[in-house]
Amino acid sequence: MINSFPRFLGALALLAMAACNQTGTNSATQSAPKTDPATGQPVIAGPDLTGTAPRTPGKVVSASTIGASAAQTVANLDTTTRTEKAEAAAPKTGGQRLGTTVASLGDPSQAGFWMKTPLVQSETNGRIVNPATGKSANVQLIPLGGPASGGSQVSLPALQMLGVSLTDLPTLEVYSG
């Protein structure tokens, strides 16, 4: 055991010297100083990288497969029942007009007929109308922070009932009651 210890120290010293040689600079691998063309500021020197990142063997990635496993259809996200849809579509008139708001699609995974809007201070039943189509939906109005002139978020089934594309930003009329 005593004889093997000096051998171990010798091998450790050789490894340490080899590691020191790896950290030295090699003028062949470094390029001239570079500047950022957008700002004119110097860029930190480093090795010039060429080629592409390694890929997982056998895996093919194309524009048509990116995000395919996470994609869901509108039908899959709309979990409302026929009864809920009938209640939301039941014609109502009257109610207090709260104003108009620019609406966008809210969280599509949140079920039901609702609108998050800064036009209300507490949850209440209400109705939203798309003046472009005349279609309306009975919804739960949920407070949303921000000024009254701020935008609102609408549930997926409510937007569908109003005949609004999920990527549009329609101006909707909001009524309480």
For position 139, which CATH number holds? 2.40.40.10
10 Å CB burial of residue 47 (0-12, 13-18, 19+) is exposed
Q: Which domain holds residue 118?
A: 78-176
- Give the integer Cα–Cα distance in Å for 22 and 45: 18
Residue 134 belongs to a domain: yes
Residue 2 belongs to a domain: no
Residue 33 belongs to a domain: no
- Give the integer Cα–Cα distance in Å for 116 and 48: 51
Comparing CA positions, the residue from 171, 159, 176, 157 lying closest to residue 110 is 157
Residue 113 belongs to a domain: yes
Residue 63 belongs to a domain: no
Residue 106 belongs to a domain: yes
pLDDT (tens place) for every residue of the chain, 177 residues total = 557 777 777 777 777 776 665 554 554 445 566 777 767 777 776 666 666 655 555 555 555 544 545 555 666 666 677 777 677 777 677 789 999 999 999 998 888 999 999 999 999 999 999 999 999 999 999 999 888 888 999 999 999 999 998 888 999 999 998
Tell me how many domains the chain contains.
1
Residue 37 belongs to a domain: no
pTM: 0.55
Residue 160 belongs to a domain: yes
